[in-house]
Structure 1
Amino acid sequence: MIILRHCESEFNRLYTLTGRDPGVADPCLSAQGREHARRLVHELAGEHITRILVSPFTRALETAAPIAKALGITPEITPLVRERGMYSCDEGSPASALCSAWPRLDFAGLDEIWWSDLPESDRHLQSRVQRFRSFMAAQPASGETLVVSHWWFLLGLCGDSLENGDWRHEHL
């Protein structure tokens, strides 16, 4: 599979400026993040991506959108790969709001309040990572899957810190 950390969000931009949690729940991408997401279309063009799994957070959805459009793929909402509940940005938007904002995506399997409690324990995060590993190991085309996720989840999955918009191949 290919793992991709979402591009820069407004939370990331403000946190970098101040070093403090800016109190922004479920932030959208910053202008720089939106441009980076558009560039990812070309960066990932040579990869044989046939499926996109995406976290329900807005920043992940906005990162996946231009890639999905270019490839003609409808992203699959995958709450298992959501961010660890630690900061204000880790409070999501209710499923009903996401359905309104993203009418072409299927949020039917998403609870209205789907994000993790703050703070989410290491044990709970690692449990999600292991469940995702098991899920992906059972997928026939896992090597053709793009997973758009978040820093803490991807750190647990691969053991490395990915910066905003970084991607790499990850083997199970």
Structure 2
Amino acid sequence: MPPTLILVRHAQALHNEMKDYSIRDPDLTMLGQNQCLELRKSLMENPLAKEAGLIVVSPMRRTIQTALLSLDWLIEKGVKVEADAGWQENSAKPCDTGSPASKLAEEFPGVDFSALDPVFPDKTSPAASHYHFGRTPLLARARAALARLYTRPEKVIVVVSHSGFLRLAVTGCYYFNADYRVFDFSPQEGMPPDHGGDEAYGLVQHPSTKERGGGLGWSWTHEVVLGADLPDGEVPNELPPVS
């Protein structure tokens, strides 16, 4: 049986506060750190979160920091934190482009980067075409990220990712900073017919987070059609290839 997913948006980061998207791989703000405390309390009281056997993080500073601050109680029990580039944010703007993996591994030794795509943090070169900012690659990336989780043996998996990617390519739902939603898999449903692959991984949200606008109740309740607001073609490179 596929796992239940708890999908979390990172807490407030510097680019959110300052509306400055030129900040490369920004850290959490003080408000963001405080949001993590509220997220932590909510998850600790959530029966499903207590059963989590894996934590997956987008390999960005703000997502890793959110996981370490809000899920430390799971990590202390031995739950693994695994970095997966498939859960990065959509664009190649500086704020959505990661730091070198070697630097992140040194700074966050408790995170497993061993399976991280070696192309990371490149999001613009031909070799990184699956991370380009366009409707087809983003929906395909979401499908691949879900496929990797679908076959995992854990009963519950927590994923810390980004609002744009989660909303436009994965679930159709809005996520306020540090809010989360709970989903079960519904194979072969939920993806648009031209999503670009042979297999779809739809998700069905638990009423507990759907009806109140997220686990913390901070997010909008209305939804969008997957892929509807993504560019049909790829957006020109916003950064030179990352070495």
Question: Matched residues in 1 for 2:100 and 2:119: separation?
Answer: 5
2:73 alignment counterpart: 70
2:108 alignment counterpart: 102
Note if contact 1:6-1:148 (Cα within 8 Å) is conserved in structure 2. yes
Call closer, same or farther: CA 1:114–1:86 in 2, change over 3 Å. Answer: closer
Question: Matched residues in 1 for 2:12 and 2:67: separation?
Answer: 13
Residue ranges of structure 1 left out of the alignment (5+ in a row): 16-20
Q: Secondary structure at the match of 2:12?
A: coil
Q: Secondary structure at the match of 2:17?
A: helix
Deviation at 1:133, TM superposition (A): 2.0
**Residues 1:168 and 2:181 are matched in the alignment:** yes
Deviation at 1:22, TM superposition (A): 4.1
Residue ranges of structure 2 left out of the alignment (5+ in a row): 125-130, 186-243
Max Rg structure = 2
User: Pick from 49, 56, 59: which aligns with 2:62?
Assistant: 59
Deviation at 1:112, TM superposition (A): 6.3
Q: Secondary structure at the match of 2:67?
A: helix
Identity between Structure 1 and Structure 2 (%): 28
Note if contact 1:28-1:58 (Cα within 8 Å) is conserved in structure 2. yes
Q: TM-score if structure 1 supplies the norm length?
A: 0.88
Matches of residues 10-159 of structure 1 in structure 2 within 5 Å?
Answer: 10-15=14-19, 21-45=20-44, 46=46, 47=49, 48-71=51-74, 72=76, 73-110=79-116, 111=118, 113-117=120-124, 120-141=133-154, 143-155=155-167, 156-159=169-172
Deviation at 1:158, TM superposition (A): 0.6
Deviation at 1:13, TM superposition (A): 0.5
Question: Matched residues in 2 for 1:80 and 1:137: separation?
Answer: 14
Q: CA RMSD in A?
A: 1.8
Q: Which has the higher contact order (CA 8 A, sep 6+)?
A: 1
Aligned residues: 166
Higher strand residue share:
2
What one-letter code is carried by the residue in structure 1 that aligns with 2:143?
Q
Q: TM-score if structure 2 supplies the norm length?
A: 0.64
Q: Secondary structure at the match of 1:132?
A: helix
Note if contact 1:11-1:22 (Cα within 8 Å) is conserved in structure 2. yes
Deviation at 1:97, TM superposition (A): 0.9
Q: Could you list the structure 1 runs, at least 4 aligned residues long, displaced by more than 4 angstroms after superposition.
A: none
